[in-house]
Amino acid sequence: MILQDMKPTRRSFLVGSGSLAFALLAGGGVSVVRSAGAEPATAGLRDINGWVVINRDGSILIRFGAAEMGQGVNTSLPMIVAEELDAYWATVKVEQVSMDPDGIFGNPGFGGILFSAGSSSLEGYFDHLRRAGATARRILIHSAAAHWGVSPAQVTTEAGVLVNAASGKRMAYGDVVALPEIVTDIPAITDADLKPRADWRIIGSDPGRLDIPGKTRGAALYSIDVRLPGMLYAAQLLAPVEGESPVAVSDRSARDLPGVVQVVTLANSVAVLAERWETALAARDLLDVTWSEGSAFRKYGSEQELEELSRAVDDASLPAFAWESRGDAATALAQGTRKHAATYSTTHLYHAQMEPLNAVASVDEDGKGAEVWLGTQSQTISIGVAAGVLGTTPDRIRFHAMQMGGAFGRRTVFARDLLRDALLLSRAAGRPVKLMWTREDDVKNGWLRPATVHRLEATLDADGEVTAMSHRVASPSIMQFAFPTRWNPETGRDLLVMEGTESTDYAIPHFRAEHVITPRRCRVSAWRGIGWAPNCFARECFIDELAEQAGADQVTFRRNLLRNSPRGLAVLDAVVAMSGFGQAPQGRAHGLSFAGYKATRGAGVAEVSVEDGRFRVHRFWAAVDPGFAVHPDNLRAQVEGGILFGLSSLMRERASFTDGIIDQSNFYDYEPIRISDIPEIEVRIVESGAAPSGAGEIGVPMTGAAVANALRLLTGTTPRQMPFGVDVS
């Protein structure tokens, strides 16, 4: 059932007021629970786990299931509910969903679980949230109609007010809470019941993000900020290489430090528990640990891996998993006469989210339950991990999904180790524990974007049309490593690596994309833009080179390829117009890239110069088609951020490892882009009216080739390895 005990924190909402809570159930049913004003103070109040709570005072609480990591879902998702509910936006408050025992809040586009990744929240939740809002509105209408003794068809709504035009009667939403009868037996919402787009007044508008005022006062709370009575601080000395463990621990001097409570040996680390964080850090420095040192990963370095990938991409005898196939690319490529081939590569990258990973856990006395505070991209997975660690059931985990100080793919399943260790430490100490990584811990234990090598081949016909193209990627699999239970070794389909190779917008009769899966040499994970970033970089550099071979300019050549894709053409034309493509000022050049991210289409133009062997991106224009924009200003902000994330990955960012150990340690040797390096950015939203799709990552994939193609014009050669470094001479 959908009832759960109400948390005391919610009580303040209800005291002396009463409320109605609305849930749209998985099967399309609806449930409403009313709580009377006087009850909250007494025992036994039940609250419903619903999307919408309407309070007697007219305020409305809307819950959102996606996890807030900076992408603004705390505002954009509730806007969708509020639109169909016809709420008065200023009365809306929002709340992050931390737990979903009854499967109500999961992303329908993500297997119905709480999981925020792949820019999928808006796309996945859109329809569902509209229905949730429309259902709640219909219940209000039917209830008011019954009260007034009129037919529901005679009741309309106006931003938080129910209206019966014939009688002139009006009732605020909050007043429905006090009606003697709430009508919940209503016809189900159909598509025809949803507001036509022309009537939208919240979707497509720019209310400020609801989390921003707090974030300007330092008031947002991240898991790293949690402090609990009796809480201990934990600093971890982590195994130098994956798979190693402590074999001998000499901790006498660490234990002797006043304030050190315990030194605990875990599977891959030794942790110091202390009353204070500074003590935990100081004691960690005093540990003397001998590690097993037997890890196979000690044999590898990143340079070596890149060579391995280059060999693999060229070795036709290696098996490759087909990712996309149209026509007969093999035959067409073999028969073609005007051929072009090129190889591109990308090196490992680290996420560098600004909040170093951390976890807070307080294990119950019986060791079979816990309260947990965590920044995670998947509440569902984290709760499952916690239950597994304690050998208990998920209902024993009281979970707080905290605002994340950035995630970028690092905090999906890739952050479970800290959660595990925080739980084990709390259980060992019998006290709440805050486990924090330093920046050095976070870098040295990074789960990196894998290095990739891309081999592209194409043939042109006599008219310069692309008749066949293939895109072969060599890299380790992320899916196999991160989601072993969902990995099918027969088909070898790794969407985290291969998405973005499909080139479906391009009219190429014979096409194939394939993945040569190489052995994993370090921890790998998804990184903002996933496969789209490296794949679009390689493909769009190649397209520019093909245009040159065909004797066509970059725009005409791409327009022809996009002839069957109106959405592709629209963003390409928009960015060409915005940028005055090809008319760069003296000493600068324009580079163009078409690029998508899942259903979202985008195209970018970079204006670049090279001075003293260093490149600089002066301006960047982007045109993006997300179907339509639910929250346009936030969408622009996401694209701006994505563009800078992408540009950053072309410049100084580069992770490497030697003998299994990541070489970098902090922002001096892994330096994300700074404000002094940014171009002027202009983002235009080009709405096709298609179903809405995400924008958190679309800025990233367009950057690589846009800059590389400009550099080719300036220097005569395409930089084929990303990052290009700032020095390109």
Size of interface with another protein, in residues (CB under 8 A) = 61
Q: Residue 69, interface with another protein (CB under 8 A)?
A: yes
Q: Residue 672, interface with another protein (CB under 8 A)?
A: yes
Please, are residues 133 and 84 in contact by the beta-carbon 8 Å criterion? yes
AA letter at 359? A
Pairing of strands 452-460, 721-722: unpaired
Q: Residue 697, interface with another protein (CB under 8 A)?
A: no
3-class DSSP state of 282: helix
Q: How many CB atoms lie within 10 A of CB 267?
A: 12
Q: How far is the CB of 96 from another protein (least distance, A)?
A: 14
Cα–Cα distance between 435 and 183 in angstroms, integer? 49
Q: Using the rule CB under 8 A, which residue among 674, 689, 717, 726 binds another protein? A: 674
Please, are residues 710 and 650 in contact by the beta-carbon 8 Å criterion? no
Write out 67-86 in H/E/C secondary structure: CCCCCCHHHHHHHHHHHHHC
The closest alpha carbon to 417, from 238, 662, 278, belongs to: 238
Helical pair 632-648 and 701-715, crossing angle rounded to 10 deg:
50
Q: Residue 219, interface with ligand FES (CB under 6 A)?
A: no
Site for ligand FES in 403-422 (CB under 6 A): 406
Structure-token pair, residue 183: 């009508």
Cβ proximity to another protein, 285 vs 395, nearer residue? 285
Non-local (6+) Cβ contacts of 282 within 8 A are 257
Cα–Cα distance between 498 and 532 in angstroms, integer? 8
Per CB under 8 A, the segment of 221-229, 554-562, 575-583, 715-723 that binds another protein is 221-229
Q: Using the rule CB under 8 A, which residue among 31, 634, 656, 703 binds another protein? A: 634
Q: Using the rule CB under 8 A, which residue among 187, 218, 391, 587 binds another protein? A: 218
Cβ proximity to another protein, 200 vs 222, nearer residue? 222
Cβ proximity to ligand FES, 118 vs 405, nearer residue? 405
Residue 71 interaction partner, one of another protein, ligand FES, none, beta carbon < 5-8 Å per kind: another protein
Residue 319: exposure state from Cβ atoms within 10 A (0-12, 13-18, ≥19): exposed
Q: Residue 404, interface with another protein (CB under 8 A)?
A: yes
Would the CA dihedral through 163, 164, 170, 174 be positive or negative?
negative
Cβ proximity to ligand FES, 522 vs 695, nearer residue? 695
Q: Using the rule CB under 8 A, which residue among 8, 42, 196, 217 binds another protein? A: 217
Q: Using the rule CB under 8 A, which residue among 63, 128, 137, 209 binds another protein? A: 209
The closest alpha carbon to 104, from 31, 42, 23, belongs to: 23
Q: Which residue is nearest to ligand FES (CB)?
A: 354
Verify cis geometry, omega within 30 degrees of 0, for the bond prior to 723.
yes
CA distance to 2, 52, 189, 630, per residue, from 138 (Å): 21, 13, 8, 23
AA letter at 312? A
Q: What value, to the nearest 5°, has the Cα angle with vertex 637 and ends 160 and 696?
A: 90
Residue 573: exposure state from Cβ atoms within 10 A (0-12, 13-18, ≥19): middle
Q: Residue 16, interface with another protein (CB under 8 A)?
A: no
Q: Using the rule CB under 8 A, which residue among 38, 41, 188, 221 binds another protein? A: 221
Site for ligand FES in 68-87 (CB under 6 A): 70
Q: How far is the CB of 705 from another protein (least distance, A)?
A: 19
The closest alpha carbon to 306, from 350, 349, 342, 347, belongs to: 347
Per CB under 8 A, the segment of 240-248, 586-594, 678-686, 704-712 that binds another protein is 678-686
The closest alpha carbon to 461, from 509, 506, 514, 505, belongs to: 509
Structure-token pair, residue 349: 């990258």
Residue 50 interaction partner, one of ligand FES, another protein, none, beta carbon < 5-8 Å per kind: none
Q: How far is the CB of 82 from ligand FES (least distance, A)?
A: 25
Q: Residue 678, interface with another protein (CB under 8 A)?
A: yes
The site map against ligand FES for 21-60 (x = CB under 6 A) is ----------------------------------------
Report the Cα 160 to chain-centroid distance in Å: 33
Task: Return the CA Rg of the chain.
Answer: 28
Q: How far is the CB of 443 from another protein (least distance, A)?
A: 10
Q: Using the rule CB under 8 A, which residue among 107, 353, 693, 709 binds another protein? A: 353
Per CB under 8 A, the segment of 173-181, 294-302, 540-548, 668-676 that binds another protein is 668-676
Cα–Cα distance between 581 and 462 in angstroms, integer? 27
Per CB under 8 A, the segment of 48-56, 305-313, 379-387, 664-672 that binds another protein is 664-672
Q: Using the rule CB under 8 A, which residue among 265, 292, 438, 688 binds another protein? A: 438
Non-local (6+) Cβ contacts of 45 within 8 A are 6, 11, 14, 35, 39
Q: Residue 356, interface with another protein (CB under 8 A)?
A: yes
Q: Residue 221, interface with ligand FES (CB under 6 A)?
A: no
Please, are residues 537 and 701 in contact by the beta-carbon 8 Å criterion? yes
Residue 641 interaction partner, one of another protein, ligand FES, none, beta carbon < 5-8 Å per kind: another protein
Site for ligand FES in 332-371 (CB under 6 A): 354
Q: Residue 577, interface with another protein (CB under 8 A)?
A: no
Q: How far is the CB of 705 from ligand FES (least distance, A)?
A: 26
Structure-token pair, residue 484: 């072993």
Q: How far is the CB of 219 from another protein (least distance, A)?
A: 7
Q: How far is the CB of 434 from another protein (least distance, A)?
A: 9
The closest alpha carbon to 630, from 205, 326, 153, 240, belongs to: 205
Q: How far is the CB of 354 from ligand FES (least distance, A)?
A: 4
Cα–Cα distance between 213 and 93 in angstroms, integer? 13
Size of interface with ligand FES, in residues (CB under 6 A) = 3
Per CB under 8 A, the segment of 149-157, 270-278, 706-714, 718-726 that binds another protein is 270-278
Q: Using the rule CB under 8 A, which residue among 149, 227, 337, 486 binds another protein? A: 227
Q: Residue 70, interface with another protein (CB under 8 A)?
A: yes
Structure-token pair, residue 299: 């044999």
The closest alpha carbon to 365, from 419, 424, 422, 431, belongs to: 431
Report which DSSP code applies to 206.
Answer: -
Cβ proximity to ligand FES, 69 vs 605, nearer residue? 69
The closest alpha carbon to 414, from 461, 436, 382, belongs to: 382
Cβ proximity to ligand FES, 70 vs 160, nearer residue? 70
Pairing of strands 397-401, 466-475: unpaired
Q: Using the rule CB under 8 A, which residue among 113, 169, 265, 277 binds another protein? A: 277
β-strand partners of 61: 53, 93
Per CB under 8 A, the segment of 158-166, 578-586, 635-643, 716-724 that binds another protein is 635-643
Binding residues for ligand FES, rule: CB under 6 A, are: 70, 354, 406
Binding residues for another protein, rule: CB under 8 A, are: 69-72, 208-209, 211-222, 224-225, 227, 233, 276-278, 352-356, 403-408, 436, 438-439, 633-634, 637-638, 640-645, 648, 666-668, 672-676, 678, 680-681
